[in-house]
């Protein structure tokens, strides 16, 4: 379970208000099943709320009455809905990088819409937001329970994907032409920013089209969500590479294996994969800077580990060590199609630095380098993520049919909730260097809090290491 974004309680209120298209006046097909349900440990009534804070100290720092405490709207079916299912047309689009479980979400959406709400017209837009724009010429796919049967056993997405934003006006033009009432968007933070722009354009035209997001990222860096779908599958697959790297390192004299994993700004995959396999000697993540050279630096610690153990295994998130590169380097200013800053290659840096350092100390070195980045994101969802995906899909359908819009579904403190898109893209979930997760990594690896110059700043915070 990835640690939730843990912001300190403040006096500034957090606006968890979810936009709606209007009053719900249509009887839900699920209403008869809801009559006897009441809030319990495992279910929340639609009129109840989920508290944002989960400790007494956080609650005590809030001002106002009980009803003023920050809280989120629960997911789930409503007795009254906004859309008439028999007249509702739905669109589904997948954008951004691949992630385990996308097909599970697609199948869950189609199944819930058809089986329980009776929606008969569901369209899949091909290759991300490009699928809405005429100049790309991408076809539209009719999605039925039969056409999505079995896709949850496959990695990737049957709808294809692409990176980069498209003109929100062109997207809404397409929705109007096709008479789409509900759009489900599956993607990461860049995709959700695009969905936010689409929602704004819909609102500016005074249209009644719901936009609901199911956020995905194997980096697990979306705030206000306990965990992104596909994350568990990704770090489970990554742990296989760590196991192989350990075998390679320990079967060669002075063997050093480096495993570079995804994690641009958040080191969750590196942390969880390392804990799952528990073979890593060092874990390097973006949230904890380090130095290579000098007393207590990474290279010295690595040499000491190899000297005492005979080998070493290093797990590095792709965004680790960016502070070691020259910001004036031309490569540092490049961006990808989604507008993200291109990272410098920490894997190449570590390989060269370790090679040079061992040579300078006249030490034998047998290095192995493994980068399973694309492998871990293209696998099918594991059973845990498969369950999580279908529950997110159900929650998204219930929200959209009830006229909620400009929002995403997620889980907070193990409760499924509605979250405004504005909040979901407002920040980045990261590993807390003072939190329980990083503490567990340090305990498992035995590595110091940090290395070199940065270690001196942290030494007293972690028992004198």
Helix residue ranges per DSSP H, 278-338? 298-309
Tell me if 318 is assigned to a ligand binding site.
yes
Distances (CA, A) of 387 to 176, 318, 414: 34, 29, 14
φ, ψ for residue 451, nearest 5 deg: -125, 145
> In the annotation, is 219 catalytic?
yes
Q: Is 272 annotated as a binding residue?
A: no
- In whole angstroms, give the CA distance from residue 425 to residue 193: 7
Count H helices and E strands in the chain, helices first: 14, 17
Catalytically annotated residue among 219, 226, 281, 385: 219
Query: Does 452 appear as a known binding residue?
Result: no
- Phi first, then psi: give them for residue 361, nearest 5 degrees: -100, 15
Report whether 180 contacts 209 (CB < 8 A).
Answer: yes
Determine if residue 191 is labeled as part of a ligand binding site. yes
User: Is 178 labeled as ligand-binding?
Assistant: no
Is 190 annotated for ligand binding? yes
Residue that the structure tokens 């951004």 belong to: 96
Nearest to 100 by CA among 224, 12, 230: 230
421 is in an annotated binding site: no
SS3 state at 402? coil
Contact yes or no for 412/224 (Cβ under 8 A): yes
Label residue 149 exposed, middle or buried (CB < 10 Å: 0-12, 13-18, 19+): exposed
374 annotated as a binding-site residue: yes
Phi-psi region of 366 (alpha: psi -120 to 50; beta: other; left: phi over 0): beta
| 375 assigned ligand-binding residue | yes
121 has binding-site annotation: no
Q: Is 40 annotated as a binding residue?
A: no
Residue 376 annotated as lining a ligand binding site: yes
Asked if residue 287 belongs to a known ligand binding site, the reply is: no
Q: Confirm whether residue 189 is marked as ligand binding.
A: yes
C-alpha–C-alpha distance, residues 340 and 333, integer Å: 10
Which one-letter DSSP state was computed for residue 327? Answer: T
Q: Give the catalytic positions in this structure.
A: 219
Q: Which residues make up each annotated binding site for ATP? A: 97, 163-164, 188-191
Q: Which residues make up each annotated binding site for Mg(2+)? A: 189
Q: Which residues make up each annotated binding site? A: 97, 163-164, 188-191, 217-219, 262-264, 318, 374-377
Q: Which residues make up each annotated binding site for substrate? A: 217-219, 262-264, 318, 374-377
């Amino acid at each position: 379970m990835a640690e939730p974004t843990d912001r300190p309680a403040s006096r500034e209120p957090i606006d968890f208000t979810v936009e709606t298209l209007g009053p719900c006046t249509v009887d839900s097909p699920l209403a008869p099943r809801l009559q006897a349900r009441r809030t319990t440990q495992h279910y929340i009534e639609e009129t109840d709320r989920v508290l944002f804070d989960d400790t007494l100290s956080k609650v005590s720092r809030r001002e106002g009455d009980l009803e003023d405490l920050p809280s989120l709207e629960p997911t789930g079916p409503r007795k009254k809905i906004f859309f008439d299912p028999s007249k509702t047309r739905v669109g589904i689009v997948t954008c951004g990088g691949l992630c385990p479980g996308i097909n599970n979400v697609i199948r869950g959406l189609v199944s819930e819409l058809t089986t329980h709400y009776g929606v008969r017209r569901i369209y899949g837009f091909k290759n991300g937001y490009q699928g809405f724009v005429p100049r790309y010429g991408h076809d539209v796919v009719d999605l039925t329970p039969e056409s999505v049967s079995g896709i949850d056993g496959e990695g990737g997405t049957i709808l294809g994907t692409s990176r980069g934003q498209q003109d929100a006006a062109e997207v809404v033009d397409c929705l109007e032409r096709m008479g789409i009432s509900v759009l489900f968007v599956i993607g990461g933070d860049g995709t959700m920013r695009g969905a936010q722009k689409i929602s704004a354009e819909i609102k500016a035209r005074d249209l009644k089209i719901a936009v609901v997001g199911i956020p995905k990222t194997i980096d697990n860096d979306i705030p206000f969500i306990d965990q992104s779908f596909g994350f568990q599958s990704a770090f489970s697959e990554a742990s296989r590479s760590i196991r192989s790297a350990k075998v390679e390192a320990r079967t060669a004299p002075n063997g050093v294996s480096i495993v570079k994993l995804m994690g641009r700004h958040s080191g969750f995959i590196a942390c969880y994969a390392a804990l799952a396999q528990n073979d890593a000697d060092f874990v390097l993540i973006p949230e904890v800077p380090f130095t290579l050279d000098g007393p207590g630096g990474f290279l010295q610690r690595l040499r000491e580990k190899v000297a005492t153990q005979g080998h070493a295994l290093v797990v590095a998130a792709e965004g680790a060590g960016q502070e070691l590169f020259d910001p004036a380097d031309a490569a540092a200013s490049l961006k990808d199609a989604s507008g993200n800053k291109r990272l410098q290659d920490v894997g190449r840096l570590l390989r060269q630095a370790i090679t040079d350092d061992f040579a300078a100390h006249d030490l034998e070195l047998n290095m192995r380098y493994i980068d399973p980045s694309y492998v871990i994101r293209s696998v099918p969802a594991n059973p845990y993520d498969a369950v999580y995906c279908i529950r997110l899909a159900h929650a998204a359908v219930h929200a959209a049919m009830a006229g909620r819009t400009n929002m995403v579904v997620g889980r907070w403190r193990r409760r499924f909730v509605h979250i405004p898109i504005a909040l979901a893209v407002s920040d980045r979930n990261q590993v807390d260097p003072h939190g329980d997760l990083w503490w567990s990594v340090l305990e498992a690896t035995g590595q110091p809090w940090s290395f070199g110059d940065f270690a001196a700043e942290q030494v007293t915070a972690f028992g004198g290491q």
